[in-house]
Structure 1
Amino acid sequence: MAIIFAWILFALGLAHILFGITKFKVPFAAAMNAGFVGQFTAHEDRRSALWFTVLGPLFMLAGHVAVHAVEVGDLALLKMVGSYVLITSIACVIAVPKSGFWATLLLAPLLIAAGYGLVS
């Protein structure tokens, strides 16, 4: 099960990128047409597009690290990934209750439990 949880984290990152590019097509196009560099600070929609989409590779990285930890049996690393995701998720759910961070808030304790050997 732990490997499934790790791949779910990776998949959430991939979904973030794909959804971000689709949902924020107009703000990204506007930033590209304006020269891209420095085009995300003054426009709220562009800033939201950037942060939402950039979160995807970070989740993918965390997912890859978790997959690696499971595959090599590094439970301490798996607990660490789960803990970082949990702390981030708690902060984000408090800051933005109507967000997708509820998914990672549910997933993180499962990664931590797997890190303690409670989930195989």
Structure 2
Amino acid sequence: MALTLAWSLFALGIAHVVFGVLRFKEPLLGALADGFVGQFSAHESRRTAFWFLMAGPQLMLAGQVALHAVSHGQPGLLRLIGVYLLVCSAIGVAAFPKSPLPVALVLSVLLLVVPLPQPQMR
């Protein structure tokens, strides 16, 4: 189960990037057409696209670290990821109740309560 949760966190990051590119196609193309550098602060839709897309790699990194924690039997590290994700997603749900952030909230709680499999001795 812990391995599935770690992969789910990584997949959530990939989904964030894919959805962000599809959802914010026009603002992203507009920023590219205008030269990209410095083109995300003037337009609200471009700012939203930028920050939405930046969250994806961070979720992927958290998933990679969670995979490391699971494969090396480090429950403390997995719980730390769960705590950070819980705080961020709880704030996000409070700020944007009609967003998909409850998915991250559920993942964070599961990361905190699911036991880690014991490493096999050779």
Query: Do Structure 1 and Structure 2 share a fold, with TM-score over 0.5?
Result: yes
Consecutive unaligned residues in structure 1, runs of 5 or more: none
Aligned-pair CA distance for 1:47? 0.5
Alignment-derived partner of residue 120 in structure 2: none
Aligned partners of 2:21 and 2:104: how far apart in 1? 21
Residue number in structure 1 paired with 2:25: 25
The alignment of Structure 1 onto Structure 2 pairs a total of residues equal to: 117
Which residue is 2:4 aligned to? 4
Query: Residues 20-78 of structure 1, C-alpha deviation per residue, up to 9 Å, x if partnerless?
Result: 01111110000011111111111000011111111000000001100110000001000
> Which structure has the greater CA radius of gyration?
2
Shift of 1:103: 0.1
**Structure 2 gap ranges (5+):** 118-122
- Work out the CA distance in 2 between the residues paired with 1:98 and 1:52: 16
Query: Higher helix proportion, which one?
Result: 1
Identical counterparts, % of pairs = 50
- Give the residue type in structure 1 aligned to 2:27: P
Instruction: Look up the match of 1:65.
Output: 65
How much is the aligned-residue C-alpha RMSD, in angstroms? 1.0
Aligned residue for 1:74?
A: 74
Post-superposition CA distance 1:92-117 (Å, at most 9, x none): 00111111110010110111113xx3
Separation in 2 of the partners of 1:58 and 1:46? Answer: 19
CA distance in 1, matches of 2:23, 2:109: 29
Q: Secondary structure at the match of 2:35?
A: coil
The corresponding residue for 1:85 is 85
Q: Matched residues in 1 for 2:98 and 2:58: separation?
A: 21
